[in-house]
A and B are shown apart, each in its own frame.
Chain A
Amino acid sequence: MTMDIIKAIDEIAQKTPTAIAYDYLGKTNTYRELKNYSDALAGYIDGLNLTSGSPIMVYGDQTFSMIVAFLGCVKSGHAYIPVDQHSPKDRLTMIQNIAQPELVIAIQPLPVKLQAVKTIEIAKLEAIFRQSNQYPLTHSVKNNENFYIIFTSGTTGKPKGVQISHRNLLSFVNWLVSDFNVPERPVILSQAPYSFDLSVMDLYPTLVMGGTLQVLPKEVTDNFKSLFETLPKLALNVWVSTPSLIDICLLEPSFKQSKYPELSHFLFCGEELTHQTAVRLKQRFPDALIFNTYGPTETTVAVTAIEITNAILDKYQRLPIGYAKQDTTIKLDNLNAQNQAGEIIISGPSVSKGYLNSPQKTKQVFLGESQQFYHTGDLGTVDATGLVFYKGRIDFQIKLNGYRIELEEVNHYLNQQELIKSAVAVPKYNRQHKVTALNAYVVLQNNTSRPAFEVTKALKQQLRQEMMAYMIPQRFEYRSSLPLTINGKVDIKAMIKEANSND
């Protein structure tokens, strides 16, 4: 069992310095490089005399320098805030305002100048990496100190920073390493962006086990031809992704066990794993272990898991999300007698201490005195054996492509647009309860003779400046009015019904 994630990774570097930690489409970096570079960076950060424990923003894409930066931060006693390079400027400034970082490490050029904050740009960073001086771990992040802070969707358009401590992360990593039969020194798919906590499912378990992160950059995933040229070359043992990505892979007949003989594990998280997807995958990879997992960012990546066997597929049409990990307790609140479903409440060592610098928002969902109980907003049922089933949401949060989206946040941005008088975004579900797209219904400010296509294009262009791309609705439909509730607000429920009435 790992007691200290940072030390464990350093020990791998001492034992097997030439082992490959990171493989970016054939460009590889070793554990020695990971240690030396992060040591050098930690020493440099110490020299900046930042306020003890203050967070550091790390901005960039999926590259080795990003994970070096993460380790450099935590070695020097600072949490990191991973921010994806595709983030709009406004989001960067909002995160800056909430987190008040004193340092930004910009692996990619920042799209906006952040005032009153030190910046390390990539050229400087590479120069720092070249100074090789051993760094003794004297004040690395420990226990309840924050390890990382991931910003997630908030209903008002203002993101919330989920604080994950070393203790939180340790609970997750030890569970993943011990309970999933993952092979030693595994080669693991690293596809999710670092600003999305699904990436933590591959990142730290791989590094503490001395395995290799095989990177699948977004540009490769988005172009199916390059995706299928790349996948067979990765020689993966363990697949970590959202179910949506595997649905794309299953469109390709050659995605099967005989073509991927080393691939023995599939770990899914982030959204509903449908029965249909699991059946198809089991047919293609009859010998692989397929795990469904569940957990909000606030409880560190995932807290329940179950292997989806043929017996489970035979027994349940809607798949269970699993059993709580050993150190975690799940209970249901406000049980609805009719279907026995209630809000899923999670407690245990992987539950976050709350949202950074947001005591109000923290108080709303993290309850309890000596122990934190996180109220997820997810509805569930638990059977007599402790098996948990997901039954939907108590509010308007959805999962699309694994990303968590508050419909109110999307609506907030839509309604800020000059062209728009009122608008509502609603999820489109498939028959298996999975969200496949976000549809927007829009009433425009003025009657316009501009073709709908032009208006949609203009709106999307503007929205891309303001909100994360994954939150922008795919489909825009124009109406002369929208249904209202008795309070005079747009009736989201009625529109969800309408959007899903055709099938």
Chain B
Amino acid sequence: MGTKQTVVDILKDLTGSDVSGNLDENLFDSGMIDSMATVELLLELQERFGIDVPVSEFDRSEWDTPNKIIAKVESMK
């Protein structure tokens, strides 16, 4: 499965809805992801992609839309 589809799946698990039509939506500003869910997101990304995202490097502004998350994951794989 591609990076994009996996990220969309993870976000669907967290929010209950398909984000594929809203890839540039700010997930924090719109309230789609709260702080507890941010932790879940981070853990899921680490598990599914085997990437190491240090929580201390997790600057919200770099991970706030589905497209940014996809690009970040791609750059870290």
Interface residues, chain A, with chain B CB atoms under 8 Å away = 221-226, 228-229, 244, 247-248, 251-254, 400-401, 436-437, 439-440, 451-457, 460-461, 464, 469, 472, 474-478
Contacts and interface: CB of A to CB of B under 8 A. Distances in A.
Which 6 A/B pairs are nearest by Cβ-Cβ distance? A452-B17, A228-B56, A225-B59, A460-B31, A475-B16, A224-B58
Contacts of B37: 437, 474
B58 to A, nearest CB: 4
B17 A456 contact: yes
Contacts of A474: 14-15, 33-34, 36-37
B16 A477 contact: yes
B42 to A, nearest CB: 7
Contact of A464 (B25, B31, B42, B55): B31
B56 A437 contact: no
A455 B36 CA distance: 22
A437 B35 contact: no
22 contacts: A222-B38, A223-B61, A224-B58, A225-B59, A228-B56, A229-B56, A251-B42, A252-B55, A400-B36, A436-B40, A439-B16, A451-B17, A451-B21, A451-B22, A452-B17, A453-B22, A453-B32, A461-B30, A461-B31, A469-B34, A474-B14, A477-B16
B21 A453 contact: yes
Contacts of B57: 225
Contact of A244 (B19, B25, B36, B61): B36
A469 B32 CA distance: 12
Interface string B1-44: 00000000000001111110110010000111111111110110
Nearest to A457: B30
Contacts, number: 96
Nearest to B33: A474
Contact of A476 (B15, B39, B55): B15
A437 B16 CA distance: 12
Nearest to A453: B17
A225 B36 contact: no
B35 A453 contact: no
A454 B22 CA distance: 9
B56 A401 contact: no
A437 B19 contact: no
Contact of A251 (B25, B55, B59): B55
Contacts of B30: 457, 460-461
A305 B56 CA distance: 32
Given A223-B58, A225-B59, 18 more contacts: A222-B38, A224-B59, A225-B57, A225-B58, A247-B39, A251-B55, A252-B55, A254-B56, A440-B16, A451-B18, A453-B17, A453-B21, A453-B22, A457-B31, A461-B31, A476-B15, A476-B17, A478-B16
A126 B35 CA distance: 34
B49 to A, nearest CB: 16
B77 interface: no
Nearest to B57: A225
Contacts of B38: 222, 224
A474 B37 CA distance: 7
B39 A452 contact: no
Interface string B42-54: 1100000000001
A38 B25 CA distance: 45
B56 A453 contact: no
Nearest to A460: B31
Among B25, B33, B39, B40, find the residue whose CB has the most chain A CB atoms closer than 10 A: B39
B37 to A, nearest CB: 5
B16 A456 contact: yes
Contacts of A454: 22
Contacts of B16: 439-440, 452, 456, 475-478
Among B16, B21, B32, B57, find the residue whose CB has the most chain A CB atoms closer than 10 A: B16
A469 B19 CA distance: 22
B19 A225 contact: no
A472 B34 CA distance: 10
Contacts of A436: 36, 40
